[in-house]
Chains A and B, each alone.
Chain A
Amino acid sequence: MGERIKNAAPGGVRRKTIPRRRTRGAPQRDGRQKERSANAVDLFSIIGPVMIGPSSSHTAGAVRLGRAARALLGEEPGEAEVVFYGSFARTGKGHGTDLAVVGGLLGMPMDDERIRDSFRLAEAAGLSVTFSRKIDGGGRHPNSMELRLTGKSGKKLSLSGSSVGGGNILVNRVDEYSVSFTGEYCTLAVFHRDEPGMVSRVTGALADSGVNIAQMRVSRADRGGDAIMLIETDQPVNRATAERIRALEGVTGAMAMDRL
């Protein structure tokens, strides 16, 4: 299992560094170089986010992880298994982490005042959720969870991620693929066969619709098997483009997610 950047023929895969928001709370654990221009200012990383409390890491971040799983599933979830690790397991109850992740699974934004009521709303929506807690998180970030969803159609999706502080998240696994995205950008997830030309076809479709790629990663489970592209874009990917990508030869699924 591994991940690498593929070079696509037209224009190549562009990788840009963009001033990233400062994360508060536990230090960033993904080892990524955070480059900022000398005079970059980001007022809204300091004043904001607007969120449901009490904790940007244990509440707001948990909502976003639920949102990420729902967006990648691409349909209404009917069942969810949630595993809390580390600090999520130890203090999640007092921080409303369980209420928060269910709110996210229902598609609520981080500042939705209905999050307090999410269990009742989940029941009304036909979503059943089970929780388990593992205080020993292994090597995981102290605020980590795993989500296993079953959609109303029977479709399944699993996701692992962490809440790294300030309401920011890092998703590190989608199904069997190792990934790394934050939901700060519009993100396109393309499930596809691992074969030559795939990246070129997908990025070509994006280029045709005027969408600029901020960051991109490809990850596969086995060579020549199935793979996933996670593409973070400067502009949203509209429905027509997502449909076009979904219909490409070799693509088995595509989900265009707004900023989480």
Chain B
Amino acid sequence: MRYADSLQKVLEALKPGERLSDFFLRQEAAVNGTTEEEVFRRMEENLKAMEEAAEKGLRPGLKSVSGLTGGDAFRVKAAGEAGKLPGGALLNGLMYRALAVAELNAAMGRVVAAPTAGSCGILPAVILTVGDAAGADRKARVMALVTAGGVGYVIARRASLSGAECGCQAECGSAAAMAAAAAAELAGGTPEMSVHACALALKNHLGLACDPVAGLVEVPCVKRNAFCASAALVAANLALAGVRSVIPADEVMDAMKAIGKMMPAAIRETAEGGLADTPTGRRLADGIFGRD
């Protein structure tokens, strides 16, 4: 049975009582001729790198190579902890962790591409923050990453993870979908709930353009990581409450791919349209690179 490009078929292939993470761990080990322990160990290294990035990115003086981003993670955390922001600790945690990792990325720090560098803040923010909220232990967090990886792999096979091919819906949208599925599992949801969470999150990002200012992975990319982390939480909450995505996950992926093909090149990672083409965007680009 082919299932690597269909979440519906993944659900049908699950053994009784098996979670998505158990399934993907089992498949990864079997198909690649390794052991589940080794796969777990490697994924735990990724979790460790994500945790370190979320810490390092909180430095107040952090600045990207271009100077366009940096320091907002610190700012948001401080304002939240000072009680200045509506939204509570959970939302604050999602936001500042996503910003921290994304800002660290722009400052040439060490991050985990998940699935890409531009979207690297979303999954760590969700795993760490929802993990804390759900009282999840380390093993559960690593397994949540396995779920995210498996879901992302299906999206890659069926649609795309590439901003150049399908716009930001494929990068940050996919990361949000992966994180939503992982969050639902962390909070004790069923595999079906994870798949609905994935569909709901991905649906919310359809049509999202990739129009980075000056062609750099900074504006709007860094702050978008915060939006997408919170979108993942919304999707997980909806799914855990029993809300179903009317359009099944596989069809949402197909729609994402089809929309990507309709998107003009100017908003598919070419820095030619949208925000990249605003007066401020052009001025910033000239300032960083000089006129050609």
In angstroms, how far is the closest chain A Cβ from the Cβ of B161?
Answer: 5
Query: Which residues of B from 1 to 53 have beta carbons under 8 Å from A?
Result: 1-4, 24, 27-28, 31-32, 39, 42-43, 45-46, 49
Q: What is the CA–CA distance of A42 and B146 in the complex, to the nearest angstrom?
A: 10
What residues of chain B lie closer than 8 Å to A211, measured between beta carbons? none
Q: What is the CA–CA distance of A42 and B149 in the complex, to the nearest angstrom?
A: 8
Partner among A22, A27, A37, A94 whose Cβ is within 8 Å of the Cβ of B289: A94
Q: What is the CA–CA distance of A43 and B152 in the complex, to the nearest angstrom?
A: 8
Query: Which residues of A from 110 to 124 have beta carbons under 8 Å from B?
Result: 111, 113, 115-116
Say yes or no for B217: interface residue by CB 8 A criterion: yes
Partner among B39, B113, B118 whose Cβ is within 8 Å of the Cβ of A43: B39
Q: What is the CA–CA distance of A40 and B4 in the complex, to the nearest angstrom?
A: 7
Q: What is the CA–CA distance of A19 and B32 in the complex, to the nearest angstrom?
A: 9
| Interface size range on B against A | 35 or more
Which listed segment binds A: B71-79, B90-98, B103-111, B196-204?
B103-111
When the two chains form their complex, are residues B28 and A54 in contact, meaning their CB atoms are under 8 A apart?
Answer: no
When the two chains form their complex, are residues A54 and B152 in contact, meaning their CB atoms are under 8 A apart?
Answer: no
Q: What is the CA–CA distance of A45 and B215 in the complex, to the nearest angstrom?
A: 24
When the two chains form their complex, are residues A94 and B28 in contact, meaning their CB atoms are under 8 A apart?
Answer: no
Say yes or no for B172: interface residue by CB 8 A criterion: no
What residues of chain B lie closer than 8 Å to A41, measured between beta carbons? 4, 24, 27-28, 31-32, 150, 153
Partner among A40, A54, A135 whose Cβ is within 8 Å of the Cβ of B105: A54
**Given contacts A25-B162, A94-B216, is CB(A39)–CB(B27) below 8 Å?**
yes
When the two chains form their complex, are residues A47 and B112 in contact, meaning their CB atoms are under 8 A apart?
Answer: yes
Contact with B along A44-58 (1 / 0, CB 8 A): 111111111111100
A59, A94, A113, A116, most chain B CB atoms within 10 A: A94
**Interface secondary structure of A, over-half rule:** loop
**Given contacts A91-B214, A95-B216, is CB(A43)–CB(B28) below 8 Å?**
yes
When the two chains form their complex, are residues A54 and B43 in contact, meaning their CB atoms are under 8 A apart?
Answer: no
What residues of chain B lie closer than 8 Å to A27, measured between beta carbons? 162, 164-165
When the two chains form their complex, are residues A166 and B217 in contact, meaning their CB atoms are under 8 A apart?
Answer: no
In angstroms, how far is the closest chain A Cβ from the Cβ of B171?
Answer: 8
What residues of chain A lie closer than 8 Å to B123, measured between beta carbons? 47
Query: Which residues of B from 107 to 127 have beta carbons under 8 Å from A?
Result: 107-118, 120, 123
What residues of chain B lie closer than 8 Å to A172, measured between beta carbons? none
B3, B117, B156, B292, most chain A CB atoms within 10 A: B117
When the two chains form their complex, are residues A48 and B3 in contact, meaning their CB atoms are under 8 A apart?
Answer: no
Which residue of chain A has its CB nearest to the CB of B171? A24
When the two chains form their complex, are residues A47 and B115 in contact, meaning their CB atoms are under 8 A apart?
Answer: yes
What residues of chain A lie closer than 8 Å to B117, measured between beta carbons? 51, 53-56, 59-60
Q: What is the CA–CA distance of A91 and B27 in the complex, to the nearest angstrom?
A: 39
Contact with A along B204-230 (1 / 0, CB 8 A): 000000000011111000000000000
When the two chains form their complex, are residues B105 and A53 in contact, meaning their CB atoms are under 8 A apart?
Answer: yes
Say yes or no for A73: interface residue by CB 8 A criterion: no
Which residue of chain B has its CB nearest to the CB of A27? B165
What residues of chain B lie closer than 8 Å to A56, measured between beta carbons? 113, 116-117
Q: List 6 A-B contacts (CB under 8 A).
A: A19-B31, A46-B153, A50-B112, A51-B113, A53-B108, A56-B117
Write the residues of chain A forming the contact surface with B, with a CB cutoff of 8 angstroms: 19, 22, 24-27, 36-56, 59-60, 87, 90-91, 93-96, 99, 111, 113, 115-116, 135, 165-167
Write the residues of chain B forming the contact surface with A, with a CB cutoff of 8 angstroms: 1-4, 24, 27-28, 31-32, 39, 42-43, 45-46, 49, 64-66, 104-118, 120, 123, 145-146, 148-150, 152-153, 156-157, 161-165, 171, 178, 214-218, 269, 271, 288-289, 292
User: 4 shortest A-B CB distances, which residue pairs?
Assistant: A53-B105, A43-B149, A46-B152, A91-B215
- What 13 additional pairs, Cβ within 8 angstroms, besides A24-B115, A47-B46, A50-B113? A25-B116, A25-B162, A39-B2, A45-B153, A46-B149, A50-B45, A50-B46, A50-B111, A54-B64, A54-B107, A91-B215, A111-B49, A113-B110
